[in-house]
Homo-oligomer: A and B are copies of this chain.
């Protein structure tokens, strides 16, 4: 018998708790598993020995609580953005010494980490160090990101819901843009510092006749003059032009477009805090085209909105958690759960891949998903995204708002 420890890391998504629920539910069924521990704030919780025993929380009413957990957005165990030092350095020795002493303290036989690219790197480092220390703890990664940019998997938990949110919201913005006869440009900034997967989803409403005129993704070098020419072309047919732009579009020299307008800060992984492509283009349009313009981002609600979860995403995110536990029970370590699409009609196979093959890599939107002009996506792209956004999750509403697992459910 052994204990397990689970953590969440990186930016929250509205599917990250579904994976947590999947892991917990599967662990509760396994006779070889004793206590289930949660790290409060991911690896930071381990470093500070801020660990909670969550086993008894599910002693009764487990099914109902796990179901509620699945439809609760934002990391219920808290999160962090900590970059672990390189192994073999003095700092590294201290840090990993601490981590493994906590793992030993709690007799942890399996360590589950739900997170994005950088978190999969954490899983890789820990599993490699475990091997070098002859530590038999198994390290399993469950992917999580709204950006859909983790390699070796058809798509990532969290993406389908964010895509559904972006598509539905951009549709409503398009409807709003269509009411006036005055010439205007609306620029909506979508999350995506490296890849345009989420911005590609913004094009979906055109399938309903309420679409953006153009979408600009980081995979295509951004050129202000081409953008303005696109806008002027659209203005020949209708006054309210709508474009969607990834926060991370870059110009031909590789700099973030409009970077003179950026705030210049960075998070601890060195990811630049991007702000302002929409604001920058708003000014450019006013000055160069002389018409009304408004630019804004969809911002935080893209990743945390609970009321537009994709039922497909939530179900897959839960199953990804269960798959992680089964793979661990089968002896695996140093792996990440992944999805393999099986074709028409849509279904996926749940599998695993060596985490060293995914850590720190980025999956970009392929060129056959982007039209040659670089400012819209292709049918193949729509066909790829649509199944991931399928199905709605019924939230329970109280006092007019969705009601989830109470705040601080897992905290000591």
Copies of the protein in its oligomer: 2
- One digit per residue, 1 when the CB lies within 8 angstroms of any chain B CB and 0 when it does not, for chain A 172-216 equals 110110111110001000000000000000001101111000000
In the complex, whether A35 has a CB less than 8 A from a CB of chain B is: no
- Whether A22 sits at the interface, judged by CB under 8 Å, is no
- Given A181-B78, A208-B399, A399-B204, CB of A168 within 8 Å of CB of B307: yes
Known: A168-B402, A400-B386, A401-B204. A407 touches B178 (CB 8 A): yes
Q: Which residues of B are found within 8 Å of A355, using beta-carbon distances?
A: none
A184 → chain B, closest Cβ, in Å? 11
Flag if A172 contacts B306 (CB, 8 Å). Answer: yes
A144 within 8 A of B: no
Is A363 an interface residue, CB under 8 A from the partner?
A: no
Partner of A310 from B182, B186, B391, B400 at Cβ < 8 Å: B400
> Which residues of B have CB within 8 Å of A306?
168, 171-172, 175
Question: Which segment of A103-111, A135-143, A222-230, A297-305 sits at the interface?
Answer: A297-305
> Chain A interface: which size bin?
35 or more
| A344, CB-defined interface residue at 8 Å | no
A81 interface residue (CB < 8 Å to B):
yes
Which of A306, A307, A403 has most chain B Cβ within 10 Å? A307
Min CB–CB distance A228 → chain B (angstroms): 19
Q: Give the CA-CA distance A71 to B279 in the complex, in Å.
A: 31
Contact A400 B79 (CB under 8 A): no
The answer to whether A172 touches B74 (Cβ under 8 A) is yes
Q: Say if the beta carbon of A269 comes within 8 Å of chain B.
A: no
* B180 contacts A81, C-beta separation under 8 Å: yes
Kindly state whether residue A75 has any CB partner on chain B within 8 Å. yes
Instruction: List the B side residues contacting A12 at CB < 8 Å.
Output: 175-176, 179
Starting from the known contacts A74-B178, A178-B407, A389-B401, 4 additional A-B residue pairs (CB-CB under 8 Å) come to A74-B179, A80-B181, A172-B307, A175-B407
Interface residue ranges, A against B (CB under 8 Å)? 8, 12, 14, 41, 44, 72-75, 78-81, 163-164, 167-169, 171-173, 175-176, 178-182, 186, 204-205, 207-210, 294, 296-301, 303-308, 310, 386, 389-392, 397-404, 406-408
| 20 sample A-B contacts, Cβ–Cβ < 8 Å, listed by A number | A41-B180, A72-B175, A73-B172, A73-B176, A74-B179, A79-B179, A81-B180, A163-B400, A168-B307, A169-B301, A173-B300, A173-B304, A175-B304, A186-B300, A204-B399, A207-B399, A208-B399, A209-B406, A307-B307, A386-B400
